[in-house]
Amino acid sequence: MKYEVNLSARCIAAIVTHARAEAPRECCGMLIGTGTSVLEAAAARNIAERPTRFLIDPQNHIDAIRRARERGLAVLGFYHSHPHSSPVPSETDVEEATYPDHLYVIVGLERDTPEIRCFRLTDGNFLELPFVTVD
């Protein structure tokens, strides 16, 4: 299924701010919204031991699901950063992705202007999706 994702400007700003604050470690978090609209980013603690890997704190994930449901929303996917490379899923990202049909947003900080790309995990592969920024 092809579709366009709507990412709120506030969500993008929060992801970039989180990524810059955590660099040189990868940051991570959940994407909250409804349908194909991502309304906010919920930052999570990265409990991975290596700085070039991310692992969302399970309690942060559970809390985000609960808070989203209370507002009639859902966790639509996840985000993380690549502090020293482009926002393309790494081999590790592909191997460790476990939520099919969820969105995965990656922000790359290797350039002065952060680059953001959006993917959907389908049949074990990341398919890039177009997205628009909305207010």
Structure tokens at 113: 């202007």
pLDDT at 1 over 70: no
Distance CA 66, CA 120 (A): 23
Antiparallel, parallel or unpaired: β 5-8 and 28-34: unpaired
82: Cβ–Cβ under 8 A, 6 or more apart, which residues?
Answer: 26, 88, 90, 106, 107, 108, 109, 110
% pLDDT > 70, the chain = 99
Residue 99's nearest CA partner among 80, 71, 72 is 80
pLDDT in tens, 4-47: 899 999 999 999 999 999 999 999 999 999 999 999 999 999 99
Q: What is the residue-averaged pLDDT of the chain?
A: 94
User: Catalytic residue at 26?
Assistant: yes
One of 4, 22, 26, 115 is an active-site residue; which one?
A: 26
What is the band of 89 on the pLDDT scale with cuts at 50, 70, 90?
very high
Per-residue confidence (pLDDT) for residue 3, from 0 to 100: 77
Distance CA 127, CA 113 (A): 23
Q: Are 77 and 129 in contact (CB under 8 A)?
A: no
